[in-house]
Every structure is written in structure tokens, then in C-alpha cells.
Amino acid sequence: MDELDRQILDILRRDARTPYTEIAEQVETSEGTVRNRVERLTSDGVIERFTISTRTGNIKAMIEVSVKVEVDTTRISELMAEWEEVDFVWQVSGEEDVVLVVDAADTRAVNELITKARELDEVKSTKTRLILDERLGRSP
Amino acid sequence: MDELDRQILDILRRDARTPYTEIAEQVETSEGTVRNRVERLTSDGVIERFTISTRTGNIKAMIEVSVKVEVDTTRISELMAEWEEVDFVWQVSGEEDVVLVVDAADTRAVNELITKARELDEVKSTKTRLILDERLGRSP
DNA sequence: TATGAAAGACTAACTAA
DNA sequence: TTAGTTAGTCTTTCATA
């Protein structure tokens, strides 16, 4: 991981469809070098995946979920990852155990999701925050 | 937004480099239809961007930041988005005001980031959770 | 929806460090 | 032996009918 890698990642993070030739021009190297590096970064797992970020609805939110002590959080995470409108499920350290990042049509849809979570026996409590604004960092 | 759109988004979310021809095959339509739909979804803002998810370090974490009442959270967000190792900055509703999603080399690097946040006059407190596992949802 | 031109990505052989 | 370059070929995208 050197400065060139970081520059390439930065460009892809902003637009993963930027052609290798154009990246090469921007970072002042050849297309082949960019391609080799992207391949290496991908196989090394630095690039986890090429993906899209979406906004299907008008609301993004994070729902923090506390589960009972004896519950397998991995199983709960798998379950919740299958729910409509859930973008990510994080298992986290700290007070809560699982965080859902959701993209929903409206507040009603978010509320339904919260209800669905609360209805599970394994769930002790939830805490929801609406994401009012998302800003892309310059990392890495 | 119909079922076909949702299927296309689902495929792109898992691998945004999937060729239109291959998507078309999977959803049983023509390449042109897929292309038109992706273009429409992009211009409508449903697809916010084509991007990469990365893991440059070994630690991912979310740092929840409380700022003083009188502080402009947008300005703070802009500032923090410039910090190394920060993937996203969210302005959120609820107890805390800003959430940083970070990707760092090790716990020491996470700690430095927390310290940096706490050293700001505008920051009242922080709460950190390590992200132990990330699971991709099937949304939308 | 079908087709061909243009753009981009990939292969493989080569060069330099 | 690894990283980088380049020319030729193949694939994908895109515009047009």
C-alpha cells in the first residue's frame, strides 16, 4: 500500500466506473499498472467489492438493537440481513449488539422495521437514529 | 421502481462490474433494457454512485460524536470527512449528532482518531463501537 | 430488438529495476 | 523475480435504425 494505491482507491471510491486509462492519466502512470494494482488490491481484500450506493427511499436510518445475553448475534444478523430495506447489518461491540443501516421509503417504513425487530423474542430494545446527511470521507 | 429494477440493483450491489449482458441474462431481458434502466436509476438518484468498499486496515469502527448545542454540525462533518481513515460521516438525529464510520489499521489508529475528535472544542463526548462483522443486506 | 462502431479491458510478450 | 509497459485481441457499451 503506497501513495499510488491510495490515489487509485480514492478515485474508485468516488466513481468505480472510471476507466483504467483515465485513472492512469490522473495518477500519471500506464493503464496496465492501474489494472495490475486494482487486481492486486482486490485479491488482497483491500477492495472488498465493487458496489453501488442507493437511495431507494427518502429515509436512511441506523437502528441499534440490543439482544438478550444468551442469543447468538450472528444468527440474528443473518436473519435481519434478509429483511427488505436493510443495507447493512453490523455486529458491534458496546452497549448495543447489532446495528442495522436501512434505506426506506418513509418514516412509516422505518417504523415497521423497528416494530419487526422489537417483536423478536431475542431483542431487548432498539434505538433509532435518522441519517440526515451522509458525507463521503477521503479515506483511505 | 418495479421488481425488475430491484433485481438489477440487487445484482449491482453485489458486484457493480457485472456486465449488462450478464445482468440481462439473469433477469431474462435484453442488454438494452438493463442499460436503460441503470441509466434511469442513476439519473433519478436511486443509484447514488458506483463505488468500492474497502478494508485497508484490520479495524472498522463507528465513533458517535456529541457536539455542543451551538455548534454547526455540518461544518464539523466537513472537517471530519477530511480526516484520514474516515469512510463516512453521518449527521444523525438522536442523542449524538455525528457518526464517523472508520477503517483503520489497528486499535491504536482508532484511538488516535477518537483523541483527535475529543481535542476539538466543539466536541462534548464520543462513544466508540468496533464493527466486528459486516453483512450485506438484500435491500432494496 | 438487433447490429455495428467505439470504448474499454484483458492477454501475453517484453523491459527494467 | 517483481512491477511496469505496450501492442494486439476480445468484450462490453452505446447509438442508430
Which sequence spans correspond to the domains of chain B? 3-43, 59-131
Annotation: CATH topology of B3-43: Arc Repressor Mutant, subunit A (1.10.10)
C-alpha–C-alpha distance, residues A49 and B90, integer Å: 22
Give me A91's grid cell: 455486529
Same fold: B3-43 with B59-131: no
Give the CATH class of A59-131: alpha beta
CB contact under 8 A, A137 and B78: no
Q: State the pTM of this model.
A: 0.86
pLDDT tens digits along B23-48: 999 999 999 999 999 999 999 999 99
Alpha helices in B1-140 (DSSP H): 3-14, 20-27, 31-43, 73-81, 107-118
Give me B133's grid cell: 462483522
pLDDT tens digits along A8-29: 999 999 999 999 999 999 999 9
Instruction: Look at residue B133 and tell me whether its pLDDT is greater than 90.
Output: yes
Instruction: Look at residue A99 and tell me whether its pLDDT is greater than 60.
Output: yes
* Nearest protein residue to nucleotide C9, judged by CA and C1' positions: A20
- Smallest Cβ–Cβ distance between A90 and the set B14, B16, B131 belongs to B131
pLDDT tens digits along A86-97: 999 999 998 889
Banded pLDDT at B93 (limits 50, 70, 90): very high
The β-bridge relationship of strands B123-136 and A98-104 is unpaired
Question: Best mutation site among A135, A136, A138 for testing chain B: the one with the most B CBs within 10 Å?
Answer: A135
